[in-house]
Amino acid sequence: MLEYVFFDKRPWQDFVDYLKQLGLAIETAQDDDEWLVYVPEELDDETDEKIEARYETLLEMNERLIADQQGGAHVELAGINVSLMDGRVVQAAVDPQLINRLLQVISVEELGELVSAVAQAVEQGDERSLCQR
């Protein structure tokens, strides 16, 4: 499933309502200060483009709401969750513009796979070349 995250309930609710209007079977969750929406991956291109356009619009709304709440102290931050072999989950701070550029060409799931592969390689420390494995 594709994961969409919001940090304010208002754009999250708007997104949920929009997806329901499209007739999609979605799942939702809330985790601390995050509101999550899970959408099936099996979407036609037209629906996928509509969803991405709506999400981008609502992310801008989300950003404005957070900036309003935090006033002048607002700082743009982004992080990627990294699951470690011992079960801990840590966050790696990443430039938000870099994440936005990445997500224009790969999916959230693909980014997760990349991060997991790097974390596993670092933790296991296998120095052999790929052709020797």
**Residue extents of the structural domains in the chain:** 1-75, 77-133
Q: Where are the beta strands (DSSP E) in the chain?
A: 2-6, 27-31, 34-39, 79-83, 89-93
CA nearest neighbour of 68 among 128, 8, 4: 8
| Encoded tokens for 5 | 């995250």
Q: Which of the pair, 78 or 49, is modelled with greater confidence?
A: 49
CATH code reported for the domain at 1-75: 3.30.70
pLDDT at 128 over 90: no
- Write the pLDDT tens digit of every residue in 8-36: 889 999 999 999 999 999 999 998 788 99
CB 50 within 8 A of CB 32: no
pLDDT tens digits, one per residue of 45-67: 899 989 988 998 898 888 878 77
pTM score: 0.54
First to last CA, the chain: 31
Residues 27, 1: contact at Cβ < 8 Å?
Answer: yes
pLDDT value for 39: 93
